[in-house]
Structure 1
């Protein structure tokens, strides 16, 4: 096994490589009777050195591409820790050798395609998962006002584009996106540019750069000195925690760090403490590196037991908790070793015997290893189960960590959540809010980063023209609509049988209403109806009691009885309109009203015709004498009433009235009312009553100047005038009202018109009968 990267800043990566190889070689179950070797080259980050070193390892000492000239070792795989761009360039040059290229640092989004890059593998998640994880964190806390600072390399820009789309999909906005060159470290003036941009608004600041490296604590100190409180920073690079004089600065607890899943390797730290430094003697910088580990202030888990009088610098690496990508390197070595083991055991037939042919097959066909690397399932030296998926990516996720300052003035990481894209839905993203330590300005609650405050339930968003989509006004939902969540784009319409409550955040059942006999209006109308019913009954009793007096007999007392009884029924039929409409009451309402009124109007018409006939019959030689008598008048009443009965029966057999729930007539109410069924039949019934009233009025009006002995025509004229006025005004009033008030208008018309008939025709006669009995004789009647 060969590698090519070693330099002092990443010594831990080198040591993890060596440690993993030694651990595998000491394992009797993994690659038995096989010894792994390693070949390391320090490229010093120069592209020319990278290519030259790789050619020497892969092709031998002669740097001739596509030829292998006496290589000093048999190469099984290449394990590298380049930047994304270097990884891409290296792959394009050396893919002709078909060796597996395993990266422990590259998160290149494009190179996770096994079709275009069949020889490439990663032991860290690619950037697609990183951008999705950041998006889930923003969504979880409802942060929608975001500033992004990133490198300008192709893979990062694509990942940022995915992140932007996710933010905007969830209603967020990118307040600022600033890019910086990716081929070098961010310089101080560029950092100051980032800090100045972060000051502009209270946003979530995403520092999407330095993916494969570590954030210097000096960056954090500069942010603390220059950026106001009340902001949150999400970074994708670990911060190097070192011991410095904490009195000169304060770290506010506002940092979230996305770090690929790692695990503490106690045996590796022990290996660092006990390793012989002579192994690094070829590196002139190694001496200082090892001397740092002898300092008494160094961390106990890596401090070496050695004698050294050299005082290390206060920013020495030995006081840092950052151990590079050592865990990813460790997993990369184990992945290749397990793939080799699976391949060798498969080709050896019985899994234990090795022949010369087997070994030569391994040497000549390194590309066979790819078959076993794809979908590899293994356990590393820590016993942790690992998977390589079909794309060649290790199926691990991210730890979401707080970078916090403890009360004892020490800095530490606190794992507050996880994101594992390979976990089942609903379990892929978790946050432990209790573990999060918030900056004091947040009053220990998650901050809200928005262009404007959230729209509470009962309101909806209205985007401001010409501004970001997350800059909006909150407007209340309309009547009958609700929003039961914050920041809803639209309000939801309530079902027909429900209505919005006062806060517009829930639908409640509509109030069922009808003209009840228990409410004041119903009680009033019922009382009036019963009162006039009793008055009419009393008048009928008076007429029966004084039936032989001249004033009762003057104009067909039988018709008077019929008219009074029909008026009593008219007053009573108004009670059918009060109370909850049911199928029976709906049928009886209009039909009873139409028939009783037709009897009353037929009686009046018969009275009017009787007056005219009686006047004409008194003339000498008149032939109308034979039409005088009760048979004619009774026939008029029966025939005219029969026509109305036929109309009502036709109405009931074709489209009868029925109970109906009117949900739209009044806001927030369900009106139980009677649907007329056939509106044409309804108006035919009313029209026929109007016809009878009109005929009676015309005849009575023409007979009003007849001799005084027949002056009942005047009373009929006034009664018909009242009747017609009431019902003519009823029609527009009825059509302009809604709900139970339509019913009240009809009841009022029934009572008013019936009272008009009763008052105009019978009250004057009762006055004479009861108060002026001396005038109740033939002589005085003729003078009236």
Structure 2
């Protein structure tokens, strides 16, 4: 501040011919001491504060620069604001000071903690930390700052494991308790919103028994302070800091210390004696050597002589210049680009206050102005504690936060960061590891939202993002993969010709048709023999033809269903089986009529000759054709995708269309089969050397047994096995008919030709 005032007093552009005086008070970081100083300033009770005799208003305060701490600043502002004395702070960041109702004359050159809180929250979010601990100064700076930070953190989805407040004058037991909370915590990141004096007390306590590796996040009050770089367990600390700057001429000014200047100031005396470990004045028994004048401050390496990273210092510099510009506007006028100042004008503080609101200027490349709340534009550097090539820890600028930029562009990291313990990998600090895709978050009862369990998505649902709160169902024709993080089309299932089961069934189908054709060929070749002639060769050939169709119709059930195949498979099956049963029924009736005709006076065969047999077969078949036609016209079978039987795949099958039509077709076949079976049972004991009625009885018994077991198997079989059961029933009943009715006859024809004679057929014994 002294350097800035002397620079202004020597300037020919700013307040030419006018000198500024000053008085510096040490508040000792105490609200009471700061308030006492403010009362003295307000009352003008101090003696003359300038060594010059030409001060126009000796003892009258025009403006105040300070304070450093927010609590002290609040105390001062409440006193001097009633007198319209403007106050420009260089280090009081509490957001509460932006309230013009309470602090109307307050200005500051350092950004409000509201911006710092947002910057710290975005910093934490940027590196993916959602589980943090907080320590804060139990003061206006710490309490208001963390209150703003918690609002911003909640907005960013960050959870806080603990928040501990302390003050440097607290009993050691409280400091130990806070240190114990830090050591026992599970959070790997700790945000310290503290004043330098407070954090020093905590770090000294932690240094006695260093905690597990923690990533420290520092507020601007201490993160760039070199006095803390020596704490090894804080390596890799990162935080926001005031923009660093260079003030030309300041280093030379600081080093221009003569023994006379040092001895005349108690502050400089204390500094000199501590820096060189000597004493300027003999006080009783000397504990230090006497300073002999050989001490060279230019060879001294400490924060006082290091002006390469000035941060808060520049805020003081800008504050002094802001007040000077306000005074300039109040007492000076520009005439032909030359400032003329009225030295005798009586200047009041409210005039300076009014002009301070409108101040705008550039100094050393920095723009200085105040908004309606007395705040400057918010700009922070992101600093990281890194070891230099010399092995010394420095605060290295690795990014920035500019509140004036659009959302999403305010925060930038443009250099590599060194993390805790010198790691290059970003540390992880979460209450619960992220839920992977394929699972969802379920909050743990009584814990923050960052603590949750990862539950796998239920069947049929997926989540394709990390930490998904919900799982979403797949579309009806899709199904999740094994990881349940993506939907894939369900496999379509039907009885394909490529499958072993379909190949086996098709082989049996073709074999059965060939067997029927071979049997027909054998019968045709031996059509004049007694056995063939005795068993109604016309109906036998028609039966073999229908059996051939029955075997072949099972092939229509294999392959992908289509509109035509669905209609064909059910109607062909129904009609060919009725044709088959009609032929068997005709043969059974012929057997019965034949024995009735042997009775004296019976002319039954006259009424059931070949024409009537043909008409019977045609009639019974026509009824089935009529049923199928009505079914196809009203509600035919159609291909459909069955999504309900299996959740993980699609069954491509033929829907019945009308269930009544399907069961009418089956029921009619069953009715004819039962009727045929009853007639065959009645004729089974008729005396005959070759009793065809017995063979028909066995075939109908197999037929009925197959179709009675088919119904529950058909209803309960899933997917393509429904079709397989239906084909099996068709083949089994067809093989039953051809083997029971024709196999014995073919055996005699081929292997026992001696029995294929009229004498043997007519032999009743």
TM-score, scaled relative to structure 2: 0.80
The verdict on how the C-alpha distance between 1:384 and 1:168 changes in structure 2, with shifts beyond 3 A counting, is: closer
Give the equivalent residue in structure 1 for 2:25: 42
Gaps of 5+ in 2: 47-55, 279-291
Q: How far off its partner does 1:576 sit?
A: 1.9
Runs of at least 5 residues in structure 1 that lack an aligned partner in the other structure: 1-13, 63-69, 297-306
Cα deviation for residue 114 of structure 1 reads 5.9
2:187 is the counterpart of 1:230: no
1:459 and 1:475 in contact (8 A); partners too: yes
What number of residue pairs does the alignment pair up?
Answer: 737
Deviation, 1:180, is 1.4
Give the distance between the partners of 1:767 and 1:38, measured in 2 at CA.
138
Secondary structure of the 1:318 match is coil
The residue number in structure 1 matching 2:381 is 399
Give the structure 2 partner of residue 200 of structure 1: 184
Kept in 2: contact 1:292–1:316 (CA 8 A): no
Residue 638 of structure 1, CA deviation: 2.9
Q: Which residue of structure 1 aligns with residue 682 of structure 2?
A: 702
Q: 1:536 aligns with which of 516, 541, 545?
A: 516
Report the secondary structure of 1:423's partner residue: coil
- The equivalent residue for 1:325 is 312
CA contact (8 A) 2:8 2:15 kept: no
| More moved, 766-775 vs 496-505 | 496-505
Partner SS, residue 497 of structure 2: coil
SS in 1 for 2:703: helix
Q: Which residue of 2 aligns with 1:143?
A: 129
Aligned to 1:259: 240
- Please say if 1:429 is aligned against 2:414: no
SS in 2 for 1:178: strand
- Aligned equivalent of 1:131, options 98, 101, 117: 117
Q: CA deviation at 1:35?
A: 6.5
Q: CA distance change for structure 1 residues 633 and 329 in 2, over 3 Å: closer, same or farther?
A: farther
> Residue 525 of structure 1: CA displacement?
1.6
2:619 counterpart residue number: 639
1:525 to 483, 505, 518: 505
Partner of 1:309: 294
Output one character per residue of 1:296-337: Cα deviation in whole Å (capped at 9) or x when no partner: 9xxxxxxxxxx9435899996526677562233344456667
User: 1:567–1:758: 8 Å Cα contact kept in structure 2?
Assistant: yes
Sort the Cα spacing of 1:552 and 1:197 in 2 relative to 1 into closer, same or farther, 3 A.
Answer: same
* Structure 1 position 689 matched with structure 2 position 669: yes
- For 1:591 and 1:383, the matched residues in 2 are separated by 95
| TM-fit CA distance, 1:555 | 4.2
Q: Which residue of 1 aligns with 2:563?
A: 583
Partner residue, 1:176: 162
Are the structure 2 counterparts of residues 75 and 533 from structure 1 closer, same or farther at C-alpha, using a change threshold of 3 Å? farther
Residue deviations 1:563-601 (CA, integer Å, cap 9, x gap) = 222222222222222222333323323232223223223
After TM superposition, give the deviation of residue 630 of structure 1 in Å: 3.2
Within-5 A mapping of 1:178-577: 178-181=164-167, 190-211=174-195, 216=200, 220=203, 223-236=206-219, 237-239=221-223, 251-252=232-233, 254-267=235-248, 269-270=250-251, 272-273=253-254, 283-289=265-271, 308-310=293-295, 317-318=303-304, 323=310, 325-332=312-319, 368-369=354-355, 372=358, 380-384=362-366, 392-406=374-388, 408-431=390-413, 434-439=416-421, 444-451=424-431, 454-461=434-441, 470=450, 474=454, 476-577=456-557
For the Cα contact (< 8 Å) 2:17–2:341, is it kept in 1? no
- Counterpart residue number, 1:657: 637
Alpha-carbon separation, structure 2, partners of 1:88 and 1:548: 129
Distance in 1 of aligned mates of 2:468 and 2:556: 48
Q: Give the direction of change, closer, same or farther, for the CA distance of 1:198–1:755 in structure 2 (3 Å limit).
A: same
After superposition, the C-alpha distances for 1:719-748 in whole angstroms (9 at most, x for unaligned) are 222222222222222333322222222222
| Cα distance, 1:540–1:453 mapped onto 2, change above 3 Å | same
> For 2:41 and 2:264, how far apart are their aligned partners in 1?
18
| Worse-superposed segment, 749-758 or 659-668 | 659-668
Change (3 A) 1:354 1:749: farther
Asked if 1:160 corresponds to 2:146, the answer is yes
SS at match of 1:258: strand
Q: Distance in 2 between matches of 1:507 and 1:625?
A: 71
In 1, Cα distance between equivalents of 2:318 and 2:578: 101
> Structure 1 residues 170 and 324 mapped into 2: Cα distance closer, same or farther (>3 Å)?
closer
Write the deviation string for residues 347-393 of structure 1: whole angstroms up to 9, x where unpaired.
Answer: 9999999999xx999987666558747xxxx5632334567556553
SS at match of 2:237: strand
C-alpha separation in 1, matches of 2:437 and 2:634: 50
Aligned residue for 2:304, secondary structure, equals helix
- Corresponding residue SS for 1:579: coil
Separation in 1, partners of 2:138, 2:227: 33
Paired residues of 2:137 and 2:195 also in contact (CA < 8 A): no
Q: Cα distance, 1:520 vs. partner?
A: 1.6
CA shift digits 1:655-675 (9 cap, x unpaired): 433333344543543333333
Q: Residue 733 of structure 1 aligns with which residue?
A: 713
Cα 1:398–1:239 change in 2 (3 A) is: closer
What value does the CA root-mean-square deviation take over the aligned residues? 4.7
Any idea what the Cα deviations from partners look like across 1:163-193, whole Å, max 9, x if unmatched?
Answer: 5566677776543332214xx5567655444
Contact 2:78 2:103 in 1 (8 A): no
Structure 1's 367 and 326: CA in aligned 2 closer, same or farther, altered over 3 A? closer
Distance 1:496-1:777 versus aligned 2 partners, 3 A rule: same
